[in-house]
């Protein structure tokens, strides 16, 4: 019963699973998966011989001690019902989504629950994962979770209050920044005729180099700006344009993500209430 069961092998479930396998942190035989559309899980098993595909979520719960739930918030209702017959107090349940409150989850299941919000950067065994622990989590569970996620990320504990904004930065951030950089590429093309390929190549390597500077702690974000901005020089002129448009932009981004988060939480609450009424 030492296996890890990954439920939902969509985008994030498969990223996490493949990150552990390619890091050799886990062997395929330590994992069992189930996905609503079986073909996605079968494809993974074909790629990683030894990986088991369960016929149902009940089977996952019967054959693994850690359950990693990688489905969307609106899919929890059905999933928890499928898991119920096989759940025991000995399981450890980890949700990777932010809108499911741990307190709420604890009312639905007998086992300890935790949250680990991953990031697409974990595919490169990089970036952070955000951990939040429920009231039944012991020191041993914490250690197990940290040691599992530290093989593909830097796990950090975050309180419920700051989980959403932290996830906006670490999990949504790669999408936000790639959108901004794509605008840089498109405007370079439009304004100067530089080819899309050339602009993409330059932007990509600028970003990797910048990541290295930060990783090696040669610069911080503010000192990077200072050193690139030669007094009276060209970069400063470019920054003037950014200073007009960018301040406050992320405030709007965060307002929108927080509003959607509240909407998702409300939807889950309604679904769970209706579910109780029907039974
Ligand atoms: N994509 C990302 O970068 C990140 C996603 N997340 C969270 O991960 C969660 C999943 O996101 P994605 O993987 O992008 O979604 P997705 O839609 O690609 O994957 C969800 C998978 O769960 C399966 N599924 C649904 N109900 C099921 C059930 N009852 N039993 C078995 N499988 C079931 C679906 O068939 C699908 O393959 C979301 O809540 C999201 O907030 C968290 C951090 C980053
Ligand atoms: O877009 C989403 O809903 C999720 C949350 C964090 C990353 N992706």
Q: 207 vs 231, which has greater pLDDT?
A: 207
For the stretch 189-204, pLDDT in tens is: 999 999 999 999 999 9
Q: Is the pLDDT of residue 231 over 80?
A: yes
Average pLDDT value for residue range 207-235: 96
Quote the pLDDT of residue 12: 97
Domains of the chain: 4-158 (3.40.50.720), 219-251 (no CATH)
Q: What is the pLDDT of residue 277?
A: 67
DSSP code per residue over 136-184: T--HHHHHHHHHHHTTTSEEEE--HHHHHHHHIIIIIHHHHHHHHHHHH
Report strand pairing: 128-133 vs 154-157.
parallel
Looking at per-residue confidence, does 7 or 274 come out higher?
A: 7
What is the Å distance from ligand 2's center to 120 Cα?
Answer: 10
Q: CA-based angle 162:154:143, to the nearest 5?
A: 90
Token digits for 78?
């059905």
Number of helices and strands in the chain (H, E) = 12, 8
Q: Which ligand 2 atom lies nearest to the CA of residue 260?
A: 3
44: Cβ below 6 Å to ligand 1?
A: no
Query: Would you say residue 80 has pLDDT above 80?
Result: yes
- Across the beta sheet with 4-7, what order do the strands follow? 52-53, 31-34, 4-7, 66-69, 92-95, 113-117, 128-133, 154-157
* Confidence (pLDDT) at 131: 98
Whether the predicted pLDDT of 227 surpasses 60? yes
Q: What mean pLDDT is predicted for residues 109-131?
A: 98
Q: Which two tokens stand for residue 70?
A: 């990688």
Residues in the chain: 279
CA gap 146, 156 in Å, rounded: 8
Query: Would the pLDDT of 1 be above 80?
Result: no
E strand map for 35-139: 52-53, 66-69, 92-95, 113-117, 128-133
Q: What is the pLDDT of residues 6-27, one digit of tens each?
A: 999 999 999 999 999 999 999 9
d(CA 125, CA 15): 10
Asked whether 138 and 32 are in contact (CB, 8 A), the reply is: no
Residue 152 carries which DSSP code?
T
Q: Please say if the pLDDT value at position 46 is more than 80.
A: yes
Indicate if ligand 2 lies below 6 Å from the C-beta of 257: no
Question: 73 with 267: CB under 8 angstroms?
Answer: yes
pLDDT of residue 279: 64
Cα 167 to averaged position of ligand 2 atoms, centre (Å) = 8
Report the nearest-CA residue for atom 2 of ligand 2.
172
Ligand 1, atom nearest to 78 Cα: 29
User: In 44-73, which positions are buried (b, 16+ CB within 10 angstroms) versus exposed (e)?
Assistant: bbeebeebbbbeebbbbbbebbbbbbbbeb
CB-based contact 164:98 (threshold 8 Å): yes
Rounded distance between C-alpha atoms, residue 206 and residue 202, angstroms = 6
Per-residue pLDDT at 272: 84
Q: Closest Cα to residue 164, out of 103, 112, 106, 97?
A: 97
Write out the two tokens for 276.
């109780």
Supply 42's token pair: 């079968």
In degrees, rounded to 5, the angle at the alpha carbon of residue 13 between the alpha carbons of residues 11 and 14 is: 70
8 Cβ inside 6 Å of ligand 1: yes
Quote the CA–CA distance of 269 and 79 in Å, as a whole number.
Answer: 15
Q: Would you say the C-alpha torsion 136, 119, 172, 243 has a positive or negative sign?
A: positive
């Amino acid at each position: 019963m030492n296996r890890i069961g990954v439920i939902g092998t969509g985008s994030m479930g498969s990223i996490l699973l493949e990150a552990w396998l390619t890091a050799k942190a886990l062997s395929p035989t330590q994992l069992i998966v189930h996905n609503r559309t079986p073909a996605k899980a079968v494809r993974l098993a074909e790629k990683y011989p030894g990986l088991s595909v369960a016929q149902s979520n009940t089977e996952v719960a019967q054959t693994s001690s850690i359950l990693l739930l990688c489905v969307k918030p609106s899919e929890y209702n059905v999933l928890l019902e499928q898991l119920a017959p096989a759940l025991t107090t000995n399981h450890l349940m980890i949700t990777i989504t932010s809108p499911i409150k741990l307190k709420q989850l604890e009312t639905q299941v007998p086992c300890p629950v935790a949250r680990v919000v991953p990031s697409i950067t974990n595919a490169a065994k990089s970036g952070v994962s955000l951990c939040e622990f429920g009231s039944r989590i012991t020191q041993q569970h914490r250690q197990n979770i940290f040691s599992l996620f530290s093989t593909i990320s830097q796990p950090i504990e975050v309180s419920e209050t700051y989980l959403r904004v932290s996830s906006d930065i670490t999990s949504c951030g790669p999408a936000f920044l790639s959108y901004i950089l794509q605008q840089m590429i498109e405007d370079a093309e439009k304004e100067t005729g530089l080819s899309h390929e050339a602009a993409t190549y330059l932007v990509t390597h600028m970003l990797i180099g910048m990541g290295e500077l930060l990783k090696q702690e040669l610069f911080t974000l503010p000192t990077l700006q200072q050193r690139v901005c030669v007094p009276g020089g060209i970069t400063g002129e470019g920054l003037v344009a950014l200073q007009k448009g960018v301040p406050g932009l992320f405030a709007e981004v965060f307002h929108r993500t927080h509003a959607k988060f509240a909407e998702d939480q409300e939807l889950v609450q309604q679904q769970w209430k209706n579910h109780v009424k029907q039974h």
